[in-house]
Structure 1
């Protein structure tokens, strides 16, 4: 049975870490302002990342440290909520996972659990919102930990495969052995991948067909060029993860 997360029509446009308008000044990714901008565009899906602060709060933030975004070398896990709020105040505003889920009830969240320490908390927080949450992590251990916590709290969010599963899927598709493909996709709702990984082409017509035969969706990241978006959607991918949600929505409207 299709998870509620996927009941709306395709293609799915995922605003990567929210949306930062090209002409914005001072606003950065994964902030309240970035999510509000994505919502204002009419985006239904937002991709974000989960870390945990020194106070144990799940923060929507991509990097393990604050260097790139705030010019502070400390790790997110070393800094308390109040100080994080101060650091992010003029950059779009710090946003916690709890705040995002409550402030944007019509948005569907694609959450990449970056820190294993955040997994249990993420699972518990998303459980009441499981119909509009997809959980993932590059780490299969972290992904499964977050899913177990959500299920223990009474929620069953959708999920996409971690790095180990994706590698197994690439090998399985290359081998053409159906049971290997089925094993790689067991318990998975979506495959979220880059078009290429170094010299290896991940997204191919063969891969798309194999994933779809298993009843699983394929989403490709991070695609910002309109021609690439059109090409991938024409090839049959179900979703595009992009920094240019404005551009992607226009492209998707032309595909319908």
Structure 2
């Protein structure tokens, strides 16, 4: 039975770090960016989690805050108060707690970006596990968040997408492994979230889509901003599009 995270009909449009468009003063992952995505009717918001010096989980992609604030320090070197100050005129900082409580109808795709964030992230997610998908390039970090969620008393586990190691094993198995074997490999995974290509290597194939679906797993592709490419991928059977332009995607794929 599908996880309740996947209740809305496909194709799924995942607003990548919220929504920013040319001319916006707010930055990715900010309160304003998330509000803009939801105002454009996005059901799903993709974001990233880091921990501040004082242990607060915040929505932020990079280890350093330099790219979006100009300050060269790491998120982990800043207190919540200091980071709020840096983000005050850039759309406002969102903590994970505020995001989950402040947007109760939104489904969150949350990437654990550092080991320091996993335990607190899992605890915060626990009451909202029905509408959260836990992601990470690291399968170990992903599993640590899921373990923390269970330890915090979640009624169900969050949905989850495969980390890099699991994706690599899946790509190898897709060519020849029987469906029952592939299903066992992906028994704890709800989605494969992948780019179309990695350098010269093609990651997304029609065979991968078919085999993933046969194993009961969705395929989401990132990060797609061209409307024609979105339509093409959905036509091939892709279940979700991660995009910086959720506003355009929602109109094009309606």
- Judge conservation of contact 2:179–2:214 (CA < 8 Å) in 1: no
Residue 161 of structure 1 aligns to a residue whose secondary structure is coil
Task: Give the structure 1 partner of residue 91 of structure 2.
Answer: 92
Task: Give the structure 1 partner of residue 160 of structure 2.
Answer: 159
Superposed CA deviations along residues 135-155 of structure 1, whole A, max 9, x for unmatched, are 011001100000000011122
Residue 46 of structure 2 aligns to a residue whose secondary structure is strand
Task: Give the structure 2 partner of residue 18 of structure 1.
Answer: 18
Q: CA deviation at 1:199?
A: 1.3
- Judge conservation of contact 1:160–1:191 (CA < 8 Å) in 2: yes
> Is structure 2 residue 223 aligned with structure 1 residue 217?
no
Q: CA deviation at 1:184?
A: 3.0
Q: How does 1:1-256 map to 2 (within 5 A)?
A: 1-24=1-24, 26-155=25-154, 156-253=157-254
Residue 91 of structure 1 aligns to a residue whose secondary structure is coil
Considering only aligned residues, what root-mean-square deviation do their CA atoms show, in Å? 1.0
Which consecutive residues of structure 1, in runs of 5 or more, have no partner in the other structure? none
Deviates more, 1:177-186 or 1:82-91: 177-186
State how far apart, in whole Å, the 2-side matches of 1:39 and 1:167 are.
Answer: 33
- Judge conservation of contact 1:166–1:184 (CA < 8 Å) in 2: no
State how far apart, in whole Å, the 1-side matches of 2:138 and 2:184 are.
Answer: 18
State how far apart, in whole Å, the 2-side matches of 1:10 and 1:22 are.
Answer: 28
Residue 242 of structure 2 aligns to a residue whose secondary structure is strand
Task: List, as ranges, runs of 4+ consecutive aligned residues in structure 1 with deviation greater than 4 Å.
Answer: none
Q: CA deviation at 1:181?
A: 2.2
> Could you say if the C-alpha distance between residues 184 and 197 of structure 1 is closer, same or farther in structure 2, counting changes exceeding 3 Å?
farther
Which consecutive residues of structure 2, in runs of 5 or more, have no partner in the other structure? none
Q: CA deviation at 1:179?
A: 4.7
State how far apart, in whole Å, the 2-side matches of 1:90 and 1:126 are.
Answer: 28
TM-score (norm: length of structure 2):
0.97
